[in-house]
């Protein structure tokens, strides 16, 4: 079973999700809005983050940052 977490939904209706598939692989799923054709694309996280600094990339970085806040380093 895949696990999904919505990262961002644009005002135009595009949606991005962080997905973990049954094998443990992580990727970003982009669902384009109906007016854009409604295509669904899967993208490697590194490529997704390397494409720019849009609100969808910023939300993934914010989510990653929360992991650090929850688990402080010992030292």
The whole-number pLDDT of residue 41 equals: 96
Instruction: Flag whether pLDDT at 75 surpasses 60.
Output: no
The whole-number pLDDT of residue 17 equals: 97
Contact 38, 30 (CB under 8 A): no
The whole-number pLDDT of residue 71 equals: 59
Q: Give the C-alpha separation, 14 to 9, whole Å.
A: 6
The whole-number pLDDT of residue 2 equals: 81
Q: Give the C-alpha separation, 37 to 34, whole Å.
A: 5
Q: Give the C-alpha separation, 75 to 53, whole Å.
A: 32
The 10s digit of each residue's pLDDT in 13-51 is 999 999 999 999 999 999 999 999 999 999 999 999 999
Instruction: Flag whether pLDDT at 1 surpasses 90.
Output: no
Q: Any idea where the domains of the chain sit in the sequence?
A: 3-70
SS3 43: strand
18 Cβ contact partners less than 8 Å away, ≥ 6 residues apart: 4, 5, 7, 26, 28, 45, 60, 63
């Amino acid at each position: 079973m895949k696990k999904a977490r919505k990262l961002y939904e644009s005002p135009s209706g595009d949606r991005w999700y962080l997905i973990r598939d049954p094998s443990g692989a992580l990727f970003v799923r982009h669902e384009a809005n109906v007016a854009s054709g409604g295509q669904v694309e899967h993208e490697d996280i590194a490529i997704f983050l390397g494409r720019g600094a849009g609100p969808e990339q910023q939300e993934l970085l914010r989510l990653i940052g929360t992991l650090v806040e929850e688990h402080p380093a010992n030292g």
